Amino acid sequence: MDETTDKALIQAVGTANDRAAFDALVQRWDRRIFAFLAKAGGDVEAAADMRQDVFLRVWKYAATYNEAYAFSTWLYRIAHNVLHTWRAKRNGSYTFPLNEKEDTHEAPGSYRPDHSAITSEIDQRVRTAIDGFEVDDRELLLMRLQTEMPYREIGEVLGIPETTAKSRAYKLMSRLREQLADLHAVARSSS
């Protein structure tokens, strides 16, 4: 569904406590928000709890949603706040257990780690490289990759200007390319 429908759903929640509208929003955004929190925060178990907190806030504060902004911007802003509150409580310590192959509810079509060993190696190296990024940088990449969110909205979520968000994205890509310069050679070895 498109963004207008998201707005209509959240307004239905805010004005009429429409549970069906809320469930529709959860179904649409739950996996992305979970992945966003897990990848940016680096803790799957904590991501599950944080995701609960995010959608509880959506339910509780739906009436405060400002339709001048995209729903995704509002939602990711909530997720961003929840994530940083959680990190502050953890004193900034960071783990990245997502490399463990735990999978309980795989979605149809989602990535399955039973690809070739080469693909697994590439993914592992990319994840390790991203592991060294700051949380805000991982959030930026996730918002752009998951929802193709415009840099203006990414900037609103992270509290930075649009131009800063844009230049930071390209710097991150350049950094990854430098660190993983031999990925093409690794990929070719599998073909």
Partner 1 sequence: MNDFDAKHSPDDPLVGALDRWANDTSGYRPFDATMLSTPPKRRIARWRAAATFAAAAMFLFALSQVSFTISMGGATLQWGTIVANESEELSTQLAETETRIALFEDQLSTHVDAINTVAAQNAILGESLNATAIELVQRQELESAARIYDMQHLAQLVTYEQ
As measured in angstroms, the least distance from the Cβ of 84 to partner 1 is 19
- Apex 90 CA angle, 87 and 96, nearest 5: 70
With DSSP H G I counted as helix, E B as strand and the rest as coil, what are the percentages for the chain, rounded to 5? Answer: 75, 0, 25
Q: Are the C-beta atoms of 146 and 32 separated by less than 8 Å?
A: yes
Q: Are the C-beta atoms of 32 and 147 separated by less than 8 Å?
A: yes
Residues 86-125 that bind partner 1 (CB under 8 A): 98, 100-107, 110-111, 113, 122-123, 125
- Per CB under 8 A, does 20 bind partner 1? no
Query: In this complex, which beta carbon is closest to partner 1, that of residue 2 or of residue 91?
Result: 2
Tokens describing residue 176: 């990854």
Binding-site member from 63, 67, 90, 161 for partner 1 (CB under 8 A):
63
- Per CB under 8 A, does 26 bind partner 1? yes
- Per CB under 8 A, does 144 bind partner 1? yes
3-state secondary structure of 33: helix
State how far the Cα of 76 lies from the Cα of 33, in Å rounded to an integer: 8
- Per CB under 8 A, does 28 bind partner 1? no
Q: Which run of H or E residues covers position 155?
A: helix 151-158
As measured in angstroms, the least distance from the Cβ of 159 to partner 1 is 21
- Write out the residues near partner 1 by the rule CB under 8 A: 13-14, 17, 19, 22-23, 26, 30-32, 34-35, 38-39, 44-45, 47-48, 51-52, 55-56, 59-64, 98, 100-107, 110-111, 113, 122-123, 125-127, 130, 141-142, 144-146, 148, 169, 173, 176-177, 180, 183-184, 186-187
